[in-house]
Amino acid sequence: MRSTPDFRDPAFLQQHLLQTMAFYDDRCVDPSGGLYQFYRDDGSVYDHTTRHLVSSTRFVVTHAMMARRFPAHPRAAHWRDTARHALRFVQDVHRDEASGGYLWLLRWRNGQCEAVDATQHAYGLAFVLLAQAQAVLAGLEEARPALQQTLALMEQRFWEPATGLYADEAGPGWALRPYRGQNANMHACEALMAAHEATGDAFCLQRAHTLAQHVTQTLAGRCHGWVWEHFHTDWTPDWDFNRHDPANLFRPWGYQVGHWTEWAKLLLTLERLSPDDADTGWMLPRARELFAAAVHLGWDNAHGGLVYGLGPLGDPATDTHLKVSDGDKYHWVQAETLAAAAALAQRTGEGGYWDWYDRIWAYAWRHFVDHDHGAWYRILGPDNRKLTDEKSPAGKVDYHNLGACHEVLDTLAR
């Protein structure tokens, strides 16, 4: 029987970071450009050519954060060099010179790029900005001019002043498409806070405030107080978008409990970064509400863990009763929620949040952490059975669980 560690011990969290990164070290770098993005449980690469913008940028983030966390570690220079290598691929290959945007999906063969999907996504630009900000924080100063360019591009192409939110998607010629979503704005909020930390630019923090308030208050006010995912062009809820596809990778139908706790975490970060701002009094209460709803409605009492999605029991426009719409367990939901629990525990001094932190970590330690090969499994069934041997397909790179460990370490240090 594997012993249960002290999940609040900084030494445990540091060791877990190193063990998780070891899954990728020495096998992730493609010398011809970028990083491989598709891994099976044992670490073998099963697709050498497909490159997704989300994975490409998240690899910059994970390696830059490790270089910052462990500056004296023997692999610190390797992580910084890998972050630089990954960033160069984002800037030189994903960036589309013709449009000024970034290719969402491409194939990379023998040093040649083939565009597969050139759609422009605000979600993608948010991660480009986050990667550039984390690179600057890790000492890669070459990322600073590109960071300012990405900020300007997001404002020029996606910002909608009338609503105080970013549009979501653009086709050829930057023509905006009708879909609007909260997910791109949530990650834009995250990226803007990182950009503020990297540059000191007050605009980034002000913009993050605006996004947080409009998503977690204004939009949620149209959705029974909860954060819904999908909206029409006028930002009224689109209750039917992807109703047939509750497991969609980036736009699943239903309420996402992991996004409720992710917003709780972001609100506390925003509050902490804004000590002189009078308009922060609502952030802690809102973070508490979102976290409480997520764990009480989303926790699986039979098998443990937080489910993926919740859907309205009846007419979504009027019914406030929710049911499980997707009972699968996703790694990122557990990771974001334990990070939020630690942040709330530190902010409030209430032990009940630490209880949730320990409960979620114990569940993840038992079911998600691969103690043989390293890293976390991506997805499990409702009864915690493995559904696939694809540990890290496009988009994962263990960004959420690595990030959660970094954030909890910072929380404990405070």
- What is the pLDDT of the chain when averaged over all its residues? 96
Q: What is the CATH number of domain 10-413?
A: 1.50.10.10
**pLDDT (tens digit, 9 = 90+) per residue, 149-172?**
999 999 999 999 999 999 999 999
Please give the average per-residue pLDDT across 120-136, as a whole number. 98
**pLDDT (tens digit, 9 = 90+) per residue, 210-244?**
999 999 999 999 999 999 999 999 999 999 999 98
Listed by start position, the domains of the chain span 10-413
**pLDDT (tens digit, 9 = 90+) per residue, 291-331?**
999 999 999 999 999 999 999 989 999 999 999 999 999 99
Is 371 one of the catalytic residues?
Answer: no
Q: In what order do the strands lie in the sheet with 309-312?
A: 255-256, 309-312, 322-326
**pLDDT (tens digit, 9 = 90+) per residue, 336-365?**
999 999 999 999 999 999 999 999 999 999
Output the pLDDT for position 1. 57
**pLDDT (tens digit, 9 = 90+) per residue, 385-409?**
999 999 999 999 999 999 999 999 9
- Nearest of 128, 267, 244, 234 to residue 184 by alpha carbon: 128
**pLDDT (tens digit, 9 = 90+) per residue, 26-47?**
999 999 999 999 999 999 999 9
Output the pLDDT for position 245. 84
**pLDDT (tens digit, 9 = 90+) per residue, 72-118?**
999 999 999 999 999 999 999 999 999 999 999 999 998 999 999 99
Confidence of residue 278 (pLDDT cuts 50, 70, 90): confident
- Do the bridges between strand 112-117 and strand 105-109 make them parallel or antiparallel, or are there none, so unpaired? antiparallel
Return the structure tokens found at 16. Answer: 């877990």
| Residue of 196, 367, 400, 406 marked catalytic | 400
Inform me whether the pLDDT recorded for 382 exceeds 70: yes
- Nearest of 148, 279, 276, 261 to residue 210 by alpha carbon: 279
Q: Is 167 helix (H, G, I), strand (E, B) or coil?
A: coil
Return the structure tokens found at 217. Answer: 């208050």
Q: How far apart (Å, rounded) are the C-alpha atoms in residues 388 and 79? A: 29
Output the pLDDT for position 339. 98
- Looking up tokens 């983030």 gives 61
Query: Is the CB of residue 270 less than 8 Å from the CB of residue 209?
Result: yes
Q: How far is CA 389 from CA 32, 39, 380, in A?
A: 27, 9, 11
Is 259 one of the catalytic residues?
Answer: yes
Output the pLDDT for position 359. 98
| Residue of 209, 259, 331, 406 marked catalytic | 259
Residue 120 phi/psi, 5° resolution?
A: -95, 125
